[in-house]
Amino acid sequence: DAKTTQPPSMDCAEGRAANLPCNHSTISGNEYVYWYRQIHSQGPQYIIHGLKNNETNEMASLIITEDRKSSTLILPHATLRDTAVYYCIVAKNAGNMLTFGGGTRLMVKP
Amino acid sequence: DAGVIQSPRHEVTEMGQEVTLRCKLISGHNSLFWYRQTMMRGLELLIYFNNNVPIDDSGMPEDRFSAKMPNASFSTLKIQPSEPRDSAVYFCASSFLGTDNSPLHFGNGTRLTVT
């Protein structure tokens, strides 16, 4: 699976949009981009995934560049409960072995 | 659905003792994954099963670790004998591997402390 690069930490003001970037320049054509988050003391939680097109669900939006070498997870109105480590993962299958990197520690501040 | 259920939530044991961690999969899921998380190494995949069969155990640290799926809905991870360096949070995750992409669903982990 392709490797991803994320900033180690980010801050965001409560109520503002949180934009979390991820680089995956070696992604192959059949690999998806997955995002998970881990709130303190809990197991990782699936957020969203995409292949080529932008995706949106009740939790977040995922914007994938046209060349698929990078993506951005958007939390439109961040709340204090969104404080967590966010992992960007590239893999062929969401339900299969996933390799977690260091992720981005997002701190939402009042 | 109650999600993936792990027990115990916390385990404190002395070096040399046997430790058994338990995991109940989400109903209908056919794949099971054991991960370990430490500050130094992050989240590491230890082993995964598909339809009760171990597919990849290359992440299992050594022979002291063993994992089983006695049935389609339950798994155990055993450490014998335990050592202080085994202290970590152990997560179990399940999914359905088939024609659709089912994401991994994680339990809330077992925090193991070996003294």
Q: Do A49 and B103 touch (CB under 8 A)?
A: yes
DSSP string, A15-66: TSPEEEEEE-TT--TT-EEEEEEE-TTS--EEEEEESSS-EE-SS-EEEE-T
Residue A99's pLDDT band, with cuts at 50, 70 and 90, is confident
Q: Is the pLDDT of residue A93 over 80?
A: no
What is the distance in angstroms between the Cα of A93 and the nearest Cα belonging to chain B?
6
Minimal Cβ distance to B104: which of A32, A41, A94: A94
Whether B72 and B30 have beta carbons less than 8 Å apart is answered as yes
Q: Is there a cis peptide before residue B81, judged by omega within 30 degrees of 0?
A: yes
Minimal Cβ distance to B48: which of A32, A36, A97: A97
Write down the pLDDT at residue B57. Answer: 92
- pLDDT tens profile A24-38: 999 998 889 999 999
Kindly list the residues of chain A whose beta carbon comes within 8 Å of any beta carbon in chain B: 32, 34, 36, 41-46, 49, 93-102
Write down the pLDDT at residue A41. Answer: 84
Report the chain B residue with the minimal C-alpha distance to residue A85: B42
Q: In the 8-state DSSP scheme, what is residue B86? A: G
- pLDDT tens profile B21-79: 999 999 999 999 999 999 999 999 999 999 999 998 999 988 999 999 999 999 999 99
Q: Is the pLDDT of residue A23 over 90?
A: yes
**CA dist., res. A94 & res. B85, Å (int):** 30
Write down the pLDDT at residue B9. Answer: 97
Write down the pLDDT at residue A92. Answer: 82
Q: Is the pLDDT of residue A39 over 90?
A: yes
Whether B111 and B10 have beta carbons less than 8 Å apart is answered as yes
Q: Is the pLDDT of residue B1 over 70?
A: no
Mean pLDDT of A88-110: 87
Name the strand (E) or helix (H) holding B88: strand B88-95
Write down the pLDDT at residue B72. Answer: 92
| B21 reaches A (C-beta below 8 A) | no
Mean pLDDT of B11-19: 97
Q: Is the pLDDT of residue B114 over 70?
A: yes
